[in-house]
Structure 1
Amino acid sequence: MDATAAHAFATPPVSVHRPTTAVEDVITLAAGVWLLTGTYVDGWAHNNLRDLETFFTPWHAILYSGFAACALWIVALTWRRHAPDARWMEAIPAGYGAATAGVLLFLVSGAADFAWHSVFGIEQGIKALFSPSHLGLATGGFLILSAPFSAAWHSPERSWPRLMPAVVSAMLSGMVAAFILQEFAVFARHGLIQTYSGSAGAQPAVTIPTSSSIIVSLASFFVSTAVLFVPVLLLSLRWRLHAAVPAAMTLLPSVALQIMVALRDAWLVPAALVGAVLVGVVWAVARPKPDRPARLLTAIGLSPVVFWAPYFAGVALHDSALSFSSELWGGTLAWTGLEMLALAALTFKVRTTAGTTSKLPAGEGRGG
């Protein structure tokens, strides 16, 4: 890449889109929480209720009313910024372009969801996660909830209190991804790393896992690691995070997933809490900063290792045995750490090559 191209990446053109205020971003998030609550309540229904026969349900009412609140608010933000003789596209708030597209996608997918249910009925279990209309709804919701994060990304000099909507936005967006990928969610169940044997009616015994179950388990840890820690990584590339931020961003989605499956393995919640605390300790000790790659690589590489370790310990204590040998559980922890190390190293390489690396002004955009 030549110097001219690098400079173009480093200094983007001045946007005609007006930024949002902190209050406006908070309202966006409030409507987004409404939408996300409906999403998880609907997930609870699909996971725990049988014989769902109609599209018109209380959980769909929460979901679609939350979407209506998001859509109306984004329309209001755009309306307030529209100037006479100006294009409507220019009135969309800075960072809210993808959210506007998400509103349209959600609207189309909602109509498709009604048609899909009318023809094929109401899905249950894993089938609901493969429905094309549900995938469209999840993508639309992801784009809507990521708006405050996207808006803040282009304004890294914001003070720390002003960045809180961006932090919450990144976490909520990750929770949308966790929802649609819930079959890979580690903290949603404990049988992922356990194999049982025994006749009907007898107490099942923990036994050696098969090769296929090991592969499925490793894949689930890979997906769950990306869902939980990529939002943390993206925030860390721009701002120095307080240790409580990555801890909360790993704990809350894990607890939400357990609630969605009716707390069938409620004892995993304390394990998630311990893991989240350890993640916070790693960040407090490493003190990663956007302009200190070594510290950030250390923190993001160790975080999944210390977060998943209490999961293995909790399962072993609960069942008094563990199907995974030390090579398997130790290797799984190492793989997840290497996964985040690779992703972080790749982002640093791309950022350096594009010439976008810049130091934050002293005291700006930093916490704790």
Structure 2
Amino acid sequence: MAEARELVRDRGPIPPTRQFEWTVVALCTWLMAGAYLDSWAHRHLAGLETFFTPWHAVLYSGMFAILAFLAITALRNRDRGYSLPQVLPAGYSLSLLGCVLFGIGGVIDMAWHLRFGIEVSLAALISPPHLLLMLALGLIVTGPLRAAWRRQLTRAPFTAVVSASLLLSMFTFFNQFDQPLVNTLASTKAVAPDTIRYLQQLGILGIMVQTALLTGVVLYLLSRFTLPFGSITLLAGLNGALLGSLEQHFDLIPIAIVGGLLADLVMVWLRPGPDRVVALRFASFIGPVAVSSLYLGFLQVTRGIGWPITLWLGSIIVSGAIGVLLSYLSVHPPIPRVDIA
């Protein structure tokens, strides 16, 4: 029981090698790409009425590859005399537990499909087995981020940045039904008035949620590290590539990359961080505003925007406001001391 608690605490003393961490990052990317590939198949291929598909094979083979790699590493370190809670570097024991949980979730998912059939659309994203898989996926892909967090580092390694991007992609996978890079609702025009109001609300909500997710992950990283130039480009670009592929909006993927680059330039300009709070607040506003403006501007040029100017301009300002509000969760104002007489 004590060993199990130590395993969950995930404080192994073995320092991870560069090769080990990049291998985990590559395998986690394989796993996440498999999840998005499976979603693409459900969107574009009719008649997927079985659990046993090539797309599920890519997804679950990625999970088993991570499980095998971590398990082999753990067994080797066990043979070297390390106790069970110490067989993996700090941050990676929870990834191993996530693999086990993912396997359990996969069995439950298969039974669920056999009993209730294959879910479609929104039901496929929020079915109970898939939510269990989401939890497991989050534990798996955040191993490199946890590992970097626990080391005496001030600058985020790119393994942690990719890990954070995969965490972001896990969240966006489960709200892909209202993602600006998946559904370009701002360009919708010729529909009934009641429908257009609904689509406008959904489209603005999508921009708000994506702003909160992307900005939240960046601020989380900034609360612990300084970020090397290119970090947000990599983070937003990888996430954008996965999202843009779902409905084959490949022209929007460069927009995600350029948006990340703009945010990186804002970081270089302002150097935000916990010790530069005003710069952090300002960057939290400017970054989302720049990204939202770029996205909506590109839609206007390529597809045309069906929203009145009040809506699309207001959504840009709201995205900046969301960034500022999130910055207060990342670095809160100082708490005044209470003098007790």
Which residue of structure 2 aligns with residue 275 of structure 1?
259
In the alignment, the residues of structure 1 paired with residue 87 and residue 261 of structure 2 have an alpha-carbon distance, to the nearest angstrom, of: 43
* Normalised TM-score (structure 2): 0.86
- Matches of 1:14 and 1:214, distance apart in 2: 45
Residues in 2 aligned to 1:15 and 1:56: alpha-carbon distance in whole angstroms: 37
Q: Quick check: 1:324 aligned with 2:307?
A: yes
Could you tell me which residue of structure 1 aligns to residue 170 of structure 2? 176
Matched, 1:136 2:132: yes
Q: 1:242 to 1:90 in 2, by over 3 A?
A: closer
Q: Find the counterpart in structure 2 of residue 308 from structure 1.
A: 292
Whether the 8 Å contact between 2:154 and 2:224 is mirrored in structure 1 is no
String of CA shifts for 1:36-79, please: whole Å, max 9, x gaps.
Answer: 12111111111111111211111111111110111122223333
Q: Distance in 2 between matches of 1:138 and 1:210?
A: 32
State the alpha-carbon separation in 1 of the partners of residues 145 and 186 from structure 2: 33
Specify the SS of the correspondent of 2:52.
coil
Shift of 1:86: 6.8
CA deviation vs aligned residue, 1:117-156 (integer Å, no higher than 9, x gap): 1112222332211221112112211210101101111224
C-alpha contact 1:305 1:333 (8 A) present in aligned 2 = yes
Pairwise CA distance, 1:324:
2.2
Residues 23-62 of structure 1 correspond to what in structure 2 (within 5 A)? 23-62=19-58
Give the letter aligned to residue 222 of structure 2.
S
Q: Do residues 123 (structure 1) and 119 (structure 2) align?
A: yes
Q: What is the one-letter code of the residue matched to 2:315? A: T
Equivalent residue for 2:221, pick from 235, 241, 258: 235
Separation in 2, partners of 1:243, 1:277: 9
Do the aligned partners of 1:78 and 1:93 also contact (CA within 8 Å) in 2? no
Measure the CA separation in 2 of the matches of 1:287 and 1:168.
21
Contact 1:36-1:63 at 8 Å conserved across structures: yes
Q: 2:191 aligns with which of 169, 173, 197?
A: 197
Is 1:255 equivalent to 2:255 in the alignment?
A: no
1:234 aligned partner, one-letter code:
Y
Partner Cα distance (1:124, 1:327) in 2? 35
Consecutive unaligned residues in structure 1, runs of 5 or more: 1-12, 199-206, 354-368
| Secondary structure, aligned partner of 2:287 | helix
1:187 aligns with 2:167: no
Q: 43, 61, 68: which one pairs with 2:64?
A: 68
Q: For the residues of structure 2 that align with 1:344 and 1:156, how far apart are their CA atoms?
A: 24
Residues 87-96 or 217-226, more deviating: 87-96
2:96 to 100, 118, 127: 100
Identical positions, percent: 30
The secondary structure found in structure 2 opposite 1:94 is: coil
1:14/1:213 Cα in 2 relative to 1: closer, same or farther (>3 Å)?
closer
Instruction: Provide the aligned length of Structure 1 versus Structure 2.
Output: 327
Note if contact 1:194-1:209 (Cα within 8 Å) is conserved in structure 2.
no
Distance 1:317 1:119, change over 3 A: same
1:149 matched residue in structure 2: 145
1:337 aligns with 2:331: no
TM-score (structure 1 length as normaliser): 0.80
* CA displacement at 1:267 relative to structure 2: 3.5
- Which structure has more RCO (C-alpha within 8 Å, separation ≥ 6)? 1
The DSSP-based 3-state class of the residue aligned with 2:331 is helix
In the alignment, what sits opposite 1:359?
none
| Offset of residue 109 of structure 1 | 0.6
* Number of the residue aligned with 2:339: none
Q: Distance in 1 between matches of 2:230 and 2:224?
A: 17
- How many Å separate the matches in 2 of 1:247 and 1:84? 41
Judging changes above 3 Å, is the alpha-carbon distance between structure 1 residues 38 and 219 closer, same or farther for their aligned structure 2 residues?
A: same
Q: What's 1:5 paired with?
A: none
Partners in 2 of 1:21 and 1:224 — Cα distance? 34
* Equivalent pair of 1:209/1:323 in contact (CA under 8 Å): no
Which region of structure 1 is more displaced relative to structure 2, 66-75 or 83-92? 83-92
> What SS class does the counterpart of residue 332 from structure 2 fall into?
helix
Is the aligned partner of 1:294 residue 2:290? no
1:282, 1:299 within 8 Å by CA — same for their partners in 2? yes
SS in 2 for 1:246: helix
When residues 285 and 251 of structure 1 are mapped into structure 2, their CA distance, relative to the original with a 3 A threshold, is same
- Given that 2:14 and 2:89 are in contact with CA atoms closer than 8 Å, whether structure 1 keeps it comes out as yes
SS at match of 2:91: coil
Structure 2 letter corresponding to 1:215: Q
Superposition deviation, residue 184 in structure 1: 2.0
Q: What per-residue deviation string (whole Å, max 9, x for no partner) do you get for residues 205-252 of structure 1? A: xx8975443332232122211332222212222222133211221122
Change (3 A) 1:257 1:120: same
Match of 2:5 in 1: none
